Chain A
């Protein structure tokens, strides 16, 4: 009886908080039929927005995967006093509001910022262009791979790696043959979460992008753009595509999760 109560609380909560709004988005997107929806989604600027989002994701995810694994190895395997600091820094993006992250980048790379002057002297545009958006996305999606890999590394311990060393394997061979296969599910899981975060990033990117339609507008920014211009069908349409991508990512995550540890 108590279990049933608990279960219904969980289900009602999920319906009210998650599925309700999602259903509403679907309803509003299709409200005026398929024609306006299709028109909004095939608008060149919308297509560009999706392309830009995918491009940023394609750059940010591999970088954060490599550095996430490196950070995790540093935190767990290195015996040095700074390991705790690295651990705390990796969590920083989770604690900071993305808008603050955007602002920080603005101050660094802006015309009068620390790095901004150097880059503009060398003819490189960082702010209001793809580089700043990539940096912002990398920043906010940095913790996910490391956060997934750290507990797995702790759990497997370092005996397998030591065994590999005594059997003659170099550090590099040990990483590829022993460590990486042992943490591969955590890495994949982290990649999936990172991807989801990158696709959905709004706050930090909004601050540094400059919002130039067809140039520096990502899919999430495009949603805002449509919404402010009273094209709610278009806004909900993009929202649906983003939601569908997230659902795909979630499904991939569930399928990839190894059965033995599920």
Chain B
């Protein structure tokens, strides 16, 4: 089912959560809403689900106006960051909830619940209560619960945000696989650009209640439309007046054309990659990303003087000229 968001605005008191937002989510796609906290991404998701009403604008689901349609009638599955498990029900009853509400026959419910518990690998956990499950298990239960009534759209609000890194990685891969099998239109909210890039076909970058760019992961990284997207998606540093990726900096021991002098402050090893932290001739801190081989060839050491220049292909003025580097990413 396709989702169209048309000029949606939403205000909470004096805070403009969404400011004239329009996006299209194609039927069967897997879309990420990516942005820092307060960017409006969760509000947008909740408006699509019908959990919030927009102040103005329109939501169309499968081409039909659904702006004031109750959440019960939208045919969406919603997964919350903190699971929203029904604490007083067993895992089985949680998963069966949407089916019982629809008054499906008992044996049909039983069969469907078994199927879903198998899908989320919670067979044998059916009689436990949510309090007896780990965070990852609870979120898988919440996914099974959302999938049970066969929603036409699956909406996930920072679904893996409360989980530790390993479980998060597992569930990401699992979500991708699930989508590839079922092709349910899926939209998920995340502030983690890596998660968005890894899982989604299409990424909607949001900031300050507005959409900055909608693109596939690769295009987003290679052709960001502005400084915000450049710095929020992947790492970026300001070098010689332009925003560049740290792996687009070249280091040499001799001065040359386009180079700036800098002193090595610290060298950090991340396995195959080496991050070289520098202070340039104007006292500006920056860092370059090298491979381990490159770093070894230069025999880099703290205190050493090196000459830095941007790779030729990226030697261009900053996309949005001037301005401070937004304080995001790390």
**Which residues of A are interface residues toward B (Cβ below 8 A)?**
156, 159-160, 162-170, 173, 177-178, 181-182, 260
Contact in complex: B146, A166 (CB < 8 Å): yes
Contacts A166-B51, A166-B71, A168-B149 given; does A182 touch B87 at CB 8 Å: yes
Q: B299 CB to closest chain A CB, in angstroms?
A: 56
Contact in complex: B98, A167 (CB < 8 Å): yes
Q: Which 9 A-B pairs have the closest CB atoms?
A: A167-B98, A159-B84, A166-B78, A163-B84, A181-B88, A165-B71, A168-B101, A169-B101, A168-B72
Give 1 or 0 for each of B83-100: 1 = CB within 8 Å of chain A CB: 011111100000001100
Residue among A165, A177, A178, A260 making CB contact with B72, cutoff 8 Å:
A165
Contact in complex: B101, A173 (CB < 8 Å): yes
Nearest CB to that of A182 among chain B residues?
A: B88
Complex CA gap A165/B69 in Å reads 12
**Which residues of B are interface residues toward A (Cβ below 8 A)?**
49-51, 70-72, 74, 76-78, 80, 82, 84-89, 97-98, 101-102, 131, 142, 145-146, 148-149
Contact in complex: A162, B101 (CB < 8 Å): no
Contact in complex: A163, B80 (CB < 8 Å): yes
Between A and B, how many residue pairs show CB distances below 8 Å?
61
Contacts A159-B80, A159-B84 given; does A166 touch B97 at CB 8 Å: no
Q: Is the interface of A mostly helix, strand, loop or mixed?
A: helix
Q: A89 CB to closest chain B CB, in angstroms?
A: 25
Complex CA gap A167/B86 in Å reads 12
Residue among A167, A170, A177, A181 with the highest chain B CB neighbour number at 10 A: A167
- Residues on the A chain within 8 Å of B78, using CB: 162-163, 166
Complex CA gap A177/B87 in Å reads 11
- Residues on the A chain within 8 Å of B131, using CB: 260
Complex CA gap A181/B94 in Å reads 13
Contact in complex: B84, A170 (CB < 8 Å): no
Q: B208 CB to closest chain A CB, in angstroms?
A: 24
Residue among B77, B78, B142, B146 with the highest chain A CB neighbour number at 10 A: B78
Q: A47 CB to closest chain B CB, in angstroms?
A: 42
Nearest CB to that of B71 among chain A residues?
A: A165
Q: A168 CB to closest chain B CB, in angstroms?
A: 5
Nearest CB to that of B70 among chain A residues?
A: A165
Contact in complex: B102, A162 (CB < 8 Å): no
Complex CA gap A167/B96 in Å reads 10
Contact in complex: B145, A167 (CB < 8 Å): yes
13 additional contacts (CB under 8 A) given A177-B97, A182-B88: A159-B82, A160-B86, A165-B70, A166-B51, A166-B76, A167-B145, A167-B149, A168-B72, A168-B101, A169-B72, A170-B72, A178-B86, A260-B131
Contact in complex: B97, A162 (CB < 8 Å): no
- Residues on the B chain within 8 Å of A156, using CB: 87
Can you list 7 A-B contacts (CB < 8 A)?
A160-B84, A160-B87, A163-B80, A166-B49, A167-B145, A168-B102, A168-B149
Nearest CB to that of A163 among chain B residues?
A: B84
Q: A96 CB to closest chain B CB, in angstroms?
A: 35
Nearest CB to that of B89 among chain A residues?
A: A181
Complex CA gap A182/B50 in Å reads 24
Nearest CB to that of A181 among chain B residues?
A: B88
Contacts A162-B78, A163-B78 given; does A169 touch B97 at CB 8 Å: yes
Nearest CB to that of B155 among chain A residues?
A: A166
Complex CA gap A159/B42 in Å reads 14
Nearest CB to that of B102 among chain A residues?
A: A168
Complex CA gap A178/B145 in Å reads 14
Complex CA gap A182/B86 in Å reads 8
- Residues on the A chain within 8 Å of B72, using CB: 165-166, 168-170
Complex CA gap A182/B131 in Å reads 14
- Residues on the A chain within 8 Å of B145, using CB: 163, 167
- Residues on the A chain within 8 Å of B149, using CB: 167-168
Nearest CB to that of B142 among chain A residues?
A: A163
Q: B52 CB to closest chain A CB, in angstroms?
A: 10
- Residues on the A chain within 8 Å of B70, using CB: 165
Complex CA gap A160/B145 in Å reads 12
Complex CA gap A182/B130 in Å reads 13
Q: B286 CB to closest chain A CB, in angstroms?
A: 43
Complex CA gap A42/B278 in Å reads 95
